[in-house]
Amino acid sequence: MLVSRGFLRLFYGLIAATAGLMALGAGVRAMNAGLACPDWPLCFGKVIPDFHVGVWFEFVHRAYAGLVALVFFGCLGYLLLRPQVPRGVKRLGLFALLVLLSQIVMGGLTVLKMLKVSIVTSHLMLATTFVASLFWMAAHLNPASVDRGARPAPAWFRWLAFFYPAATFGQIWLGGLVASSYAGSVCVDFPLCNGQWAPTFQGAIGLQVMHRFGAYALALFGFAIFMTMRRNAAAPWMTRQIRVAAGFLFAVVLAQVGVGIANLLLYIPPAMTVLHQSMAVLLLLAGLRLAYLAHRVSAPVTAMDERGVGGVATVG
């Protein structure tokens, strides 16, 4: 095999840990603990600061990030040293390394620049890029697990599947701007915003309005994917895995819509804010899973695929 089952379990654990780290980071921001440690990389000049709830919230976030980084370094070294791992996976791993190093620097700047909006948002997007890269790598490390359709998926479906995670990434960026600008509660009602659908597209209210419209578009797009799956259920390229992935994606869309509405109506409580961001990451990964399946069901069968050990020459 390209990698052992044990390594795959470890790598999926790393993805879950990274998503958990992002949730913890959202909690730090929601609890206004981002500057609980006013210096970096130390905290009040200490490796382990004195106990205080807010300080330790931020400290644990930093320590957790360090652990995730160390596990990733070990996994990447293992992959780079295995000649049977495709070059595309190794290149993506090096890209993830660059993203992670940038994320470490951005984490320090987040504190040193006093939670500047652009830096906080960049911090979120680098984390999102990192977890997406890990997920894409993991998918390509075991391509033989994908069911083959009798025919390749049509090009329009492959484009549809790839567009959704890209749009979700953009929506996460908008959500990051809303959160870091403290624009989450500038509209006191729903579905209108202060009595209007779009009172303005400028300032904090404009960010909230654009984020809402983005959410509406993603929800409708998710519904379109789900209906496409149902209408093409008997198509020769529609495998069971694609049906399950599309159904799961739509379920996450519905859950995220409910969480987003509750977040607004409950005036942005920290727990709901963390759940909202975590659901957004899950939606991104669900979209990537569907995109990967659409890609793999249409990719040429290689000799390694036929032997059941998996393998692709490139990532994409």
Beta bridge partners of 43: 46
Specify the 3-state DSSP secondary structure of 158: helix
Domain boundaries, position 239: 147-307
The dihedrals phi and psi of 146, each to the nearest 5 degrees, come to -90, 130
Co-location of 57 and 101 in the same domain = yes
Contact call for residues 146 and 241 (beta carbons, < 8 A)? yes
How do residues 158-184 score in pLDDT, each as one tens digit?
A: 998 999 999 999 999 999 999 999 999
> What does the buried/exposed string (b/e) look like for 169-208 if buried means 16 or more CB atoms within 10 Å of the residue's CB?
bebbbbbbbbbbbebbebbeeeeebeeeeebeeeebbbbb
Contact call for residues 253 and 219 (beta carbons, < 8 A)? yes
**Residue 169: what residue type?**
F
How do residues 292-315 score in pLDDT, each as one tens digit?
A: 999 887 665 554 444 433 333 334
| Structural domains of the chain, count | 2
Q: Interhelix angle for 117-140 vs 270-296, to 10°? A: 40
How do residues 116-147 score in pLDDT, each as one tens digit?
A: 999 999 999 999 999 999 999 999 998 767 88
288, exposed or middle or buried, with CB in 10 Å at 0-12, 13-18, 19+? buried
Contact call for residues 302 and 140 (beta carbons, < 8 A)? no
Co-location of 191 and 113 in the same domain = no
Contact call for residues 86 and 136 (beta carbons, < 8 A)? no
Place of tokens 């620097």: 105
pLDDT at 151: 81
Among residues 129, 145, 161, the one where a domain terminates is 145
Co-location of 5 and 101 in the same domain = yes
The answer to whether residue 299 sits within a structural domain is: yes
* pTM reported for the whole predicted model: 0.92
pLDDT at 148: 73
Contact call for residues 73 and 1 (beta carbons, < 8 A)? no
* Segments in 31-152 forming alpha helices (H): 53-81, 87-112, 117-140
The answer to whether residue 312 sits within a structural domain is: no
Place of tokens 């990447």: 76
Specify the 3-state DSSP secondary structure of 193: strand
Co-location of 164 and 95 in the same domain = no
Contact call for residues 258 and 285 (beta carbons, < 8 A)? no
Among residues 145, 167, 182, the one where a domain terminates is 145
pLDDT at 312: 36
* R_g of the chain computed on alpha carbons: 21
pLDDT at 301: 53
The answer to whether residue 316 sits within a structural domain is: no
pLDDT at 146: 82
- Quote the CA–CA distance of 92 and 75 in Å, as a whole number: 13
pLDDT at 307: 40
Listed as ranges, residues in the chain with pLDDT below 70 are: 1, 144, 150, 298-316
pLDDT at 313: 36
Nearest of 260, 134, 129 to residue 191 by alpha carbon: 260
Co-location of 104 and 176 in the same domain = no
- Quote the CA–CA distance of 21 and 278 in Å, as a whole number: 10
Co-location of 187 and 257 in the same domain = yes
